[in-house]
């Protein structure tokens, strides 16, 4: 019986796409795969932690969430460090970047930026969460200590980006600039198998994902866009369907497969939106563009933004190209309001 290719086989087969790489990127992607398996195992037991820890709501909820955020962060840092392919890591969970100062790691070519457990507040209600990562080549000289500038690169410089979605099944989705592919984890075998080859956004979409609880704070153009999406117009397949989980990875994954638009706009309470440019917007933007979609801050292409600090935020509009372009037109038309 024909079987699907494993993630490991796929990485090796596509290593030829990197003439200058001598397998380091492949080894790094494999370490992300291993860390994802370890985090997946802990998340699947999170419910048990709640049952075992029946000593009071705040203890379980707060400690459990804190533990899982920190657990995921520690697992990825230790697992990625152990392969020796990166000279440092920046994480949404940590105020500053982590430099690996020994001689072996200082020679490494790559840095990783990650959100180790995105949407973790959903864990206590058993809703899908994810891990998001970006890989860049360092710009500081090999053999020296990694610097903040190695992490403050525009998204265009990403060598690879992806996410793990811990949902009804666990899927690793990534790109190295040659399209987007998804691999589903088979816990019985302990391997990821190619399940979503060459993912592309459908040309049209009719899903939109936004926290409408923030509606009164949105710019006029976003308000007008939301009302436009809710109007009846059979020719443009409206009204659209609203789907919002509070987990970027889950909303992005569904919208990429079925066609949709994710919005986290700026608002009076969040002047630059909520999502972090480095750990959420850039990796998802790379994936979106590789899947034939777009990602902007409402005016500019996300991957062209030049970060000035590790935790800076950006308004984020991402999905089918057509839907992103419609959103940008509404923003432009009502900019003065």
Stretch that binds ligand P6P, among 49-57, 62-70, 72-80, 241-249 (CB under 6 A): 241-249
Nearer to ligand P6P, 14 or 241 (CB): 241
Nearest to 278, CA basis, from 177, 162, 164, 152: 152
On whether the CB atoms of residues 255 and 262 are closer than 8 A, the answer is yes
Nearer to ligand P6P, 191 or 211 (CB): 211
Interface mask toward ligand P6P for 264-293; x: CB under 6 A:
----------xx------------------
Among 85, 118, 150, 328, which residue sits at the site for ligand P6P (rule: CB under 6 A)? Answer: 118
Nearer to ligand P6P, 206 or 247 (CB): 247
Nearer to ligand P6P, 78 or 268 (CB): 268
Compute how many residues bind ligand P6P; rule: CB under 6 A.
8
3-state secondary structure of 163: strand
Stretch that binds ligand P6P, among 62-70, 99-107, 244-252, 293-301 (CB under 6 A): 244-252
119 binds ligand P6P (CB under 6 A): yes
Nearer to ligand P6P, 254 or 274 (CB): 274
Please report the sign of the dihedral spanned by the C-alpha atoms of residue 65, residue 66, residue 68, residue 69.
Answer: positive
Interface mask toward ligand P6P for 198-237; x: CB under 6 A:
-------------x--------------------------
Interacting residues with ligand P6P between 54 and 113 (CB under 6 A): none
40 binds ligand P6P (CB under 6 A): no
Q: Cβ of residue 51: shortest distance to ligand P6P, in angstroms?
A: 25
132 binds ligand P6P (CB under 6 A): no
Helices (H) and strands (E) in the chain, counts: 10, 13
3-state secondary structure of 47: helix
Q: In this structure, what are the phi and psi dihedrals at residue 335, rounded to the nearest 5 degrees?
A: -60, -35
| Separation CA 3–CA 186 (nearest Å) | 12
Q: Cβ of residue 246: shortest distance to ligand P6P, in angstroms?
A: 5
Nearer to ligand P6P, 123 or 229 (CB): 123
Interacting residues with ligand P6P between 245 and 264 (CB under 6 A): 246-248
Please report the sign of the dihedral spanned by the C-alpha atoms of residue 63, residue 66, residue 67, residue 68.
Answer: positive
Which positions touch ligand P6P (CB under 6 A)? Answer: 118-119, 211, 246-248, 274-275
């Amino acid at each position: 019986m024909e079987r699907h290719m494993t993630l490991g086989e796929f990485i090796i087969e596509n290593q030829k796409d990197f003439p200058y790489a001598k397998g380091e990127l492949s080894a790094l992607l494999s370490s992300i795969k291993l860390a994802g398996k370890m985090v997946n195992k802990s998340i699947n037991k999170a419910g048990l932690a709640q049952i075992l820890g029946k000593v009071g709501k705040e203890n379980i909820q707060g400690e459990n969430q804190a533990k899982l955020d920190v657990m995921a962060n520690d697992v990825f840092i230790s697992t990625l460090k152990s392969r020796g392919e990166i000279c440092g890591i920046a994480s949404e969970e940590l105020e500053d970047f982590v430099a690996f100062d020994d001689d072996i790691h200082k020679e490494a070519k790559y840095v990783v930026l990650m959100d180790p457990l995105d949407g973790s507040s959903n864990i206590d209600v058993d809703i899908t969460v994810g891990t998001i990562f970006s890989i860049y080549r360092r710009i500081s000289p090999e053999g020296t200590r990694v610097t903040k500038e190695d992490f403050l690169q525009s998204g265009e410089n990403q060598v690879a980006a992806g996410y793990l979605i811990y949902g009804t099944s666990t899927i690793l989705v990534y790109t190295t600039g040659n399209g987007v592919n998804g691999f589903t984890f088979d816990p019985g075998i302990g391997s990821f198998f190619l399940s979503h080859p060459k993912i592309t956004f459908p040309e049209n979409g009719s899903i939109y994902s936004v926290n409408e609880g923030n509606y009164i704070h949105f710019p006029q153009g976003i308000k007008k866009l939301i009302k436009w999406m809710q109007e009846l117009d059979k020719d443009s397949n409206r009204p659209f369907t609203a789907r919002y989980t509070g987990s970027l990875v889950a909303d992005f994954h569904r919208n990429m497969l079925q066609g949709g638009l994710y919005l986290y706009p700026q608002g009076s309470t969040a002047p630059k939106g909520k999502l972090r440019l480095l750990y959420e917007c850039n990796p998802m933007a790379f994936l979106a563009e590789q899947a034939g979609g777009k990602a902007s801050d409402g005016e500019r292409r996300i991957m062209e933004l030049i970060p000035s600090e590790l935790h800076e935020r950006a308004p984020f509009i991402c999905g089918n190209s057509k839907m992103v372009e419609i959103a940008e037109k509404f923003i432009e038309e009502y900019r003065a309001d």
